[in-house]
Amino acid sequence: MLLSYLKIAWKVLLRRKFFTAISLFGISFTLMILLVLVAVVDHFNGAHAPEKRIDQMAFVNSLRERFKDGGSNNMPVSAYFIDKYVRTLKTPELVAMTSMTNAATSFANGQTLTLDVRYTDANFWRAMDFEFLDGRPFSAAETNQRSRVCVINQHTARTYFGTEKGVAGRTLEIGPYTYRITGVVPDVPVMRLYSSSDVWVPYTLSNEMFGDQRLEGAFIAILLAPSASQVPAMRQEFEQVAKRIPLPDPKRFDKLSIHADPALASIVRQLTNSQEKDSDGMELFLSVCAGLALLFMLLPALNLVNLNVTRILERSSEIGVRKAFGASRRVLVGQFLVENIVLALLGGLLGLGLAAVVLYLLNESQFIAYSHFGLSWSAFAAGLGLTLVFGLMSGVYPAWKMARLNPVTALRGSGAGPR
């Protein structure tokens, strides 16, 4: 019986090519968009090198100082702040420091290059899981001594030296200074906001290394918990410490807000302007994303309902003949639902292929530097499951309406009149 259903469904889809094409486009395009968006989010927030332990990390990246007369000042924190308040935490296994990237000018083979430079401490190399293609990271001693050393990525090594091997120990000019290269690492996609760069140098060489005790600066603290399950406790401990931080200037400010958040939550907090709230806004953000995804999937389902109802009128004579020869409602409903399932599966496979092509083109174009987007099979399975659910939903009402057609009126070509 099922094989007969499938054969009929395939012939029906081929016979009504225009309907099939419209339906396949709606299903495949929707699934493609979802897969591409999931790949982008996973590229930023997934456990990929060098942020393989990102589920164990929290980031202190913004200090908000609220002025008494209105407005606020939002800045990264200083090295003093990290040493004074963050490194004293008991829960983290490790506290590291990094900056956002800064553009610097360099010269290679007669051309001017702009490189992204990131300032870090030695713990940064312990918190992140870099694979060294050559050499090693710079050490704590080199950082404390303000040695002009650096680690470079594979692209920079090839641009300057034509290879990433045997580069350690050579020198590189960035701006007015010459740096000794200690190691070479693979290129890191720019969407890894806390680890990507062309060049990494000791934070003690940064112009933002103030000698005073100001709280705001140019650095981000990276907190690494012993396990993912201990991240909430680590965040809670930091919240308690943050409440005891004195205002830097009570005459100008009346409130200080700072949090330790996971990577995605830190961005959501900024977007939702939740710096002064205890909640990072992730529950609302995920709820909105889930609602939009369901709505996005529901639109082609509603379109299929309309198309299926229209198709009933076109097939009324066929339905009348089958009912006249004894076809039951159950058989007719089953046939129509199988047609929708076959259509949904074909659309899902087409959507997977389109997503693979789009991600391949994004990777090849390097529209996002050093990017390497990959398909999420779990997202595809969930998307295909939703596609099948909505495919069935879009077929229930038309199938019910079809099964209730009066054979006589159906044979006359009219879709009216339930039996």
Q: Rounded to whole angstroms, what are the CA distances from 342 to 30, 336, 345, 348? A: 17, 10, 5, 10
Burial 124-137 (b: 16+ CB within 10 A, else e): bbebbebebbbbeb
- HSE-CB at 314 with a 13 A cutoff on CA atoms is 10
pLDDT of residue 317: 67
361 band by pLDDT with thresholds 50, 70 and 90: very high
Whether pLDDT at 46 is above 60 = yes
Beta strands in 233-280, from DSSP E residues, in sequence order: 253-258
CA 61 to chain centre: 19
Q: CA-CA distance, 64 to 109, in Å (whole number)?
A: 44
DSSP 304-337: HHHHHHHHHHHTHHHHHHHHHTT--HHHHHHHHH
CA 120 to chain centre: 25
pLDDT of residue 208: 84
Instruction: Please state whether the predicted TM-score (pTM) of the whole model is above 0.85.
Output: no
Burial 297-327 (b: 16+ CB within 10 A, else e): beebbebbbebbeebbeebbeebbebbeeee
pLDDT of residue 315: 63
Greater confidence (3 vs 386) lies with: 386
Whether pLDDT at 239 is above 60 = yes
Percent of the chain past pLDDT 90, that is, above it, reads 47
- Please compute Rg for the chain using Cα positions: 30
pLDDT of residue 418: 44
pLDDT of residue 382: 79
Segment 132-161 mean pLDDT? 96
Segment 129-158 mean pLDDT? 97
Whether the upstream peptide bond of residue 176 has omega within 30° of 0, thus cis, is no
Greater confidence (307 vs 379) lies with: 379
141 band by pLDDT with thresholds 50, 70 and 90: very high
Q: CA-CA distance, 87 to 128, in Å (whole number)?
A: 17
Segment 187-194 mean pLDDT? 93
Of 215-224, 243-252, 260-269, 279-288, least confident by mean pLDDT is 279-288
Contact 323, 405 (CB under 8 A): yes
The per-residue pLDDT of the chain, averaged, comes to 85
62 phi and psi, to 5 degrees? -150, 125
416 band by pLDDT with thresholds 50, 70 and 90: very low
pLDDT of residue 111: 74
CA 355 to chain centre: 15
Segment 17-39 mean pLDDT? 82
pLDDT of residue 285: 83
22 phi and psi, to 5 degrees? -65, -45
103 phi and psi, to 5 degrees? -80, 135
Percent of the chain past pLDDT 70, that is, above it, reads 82
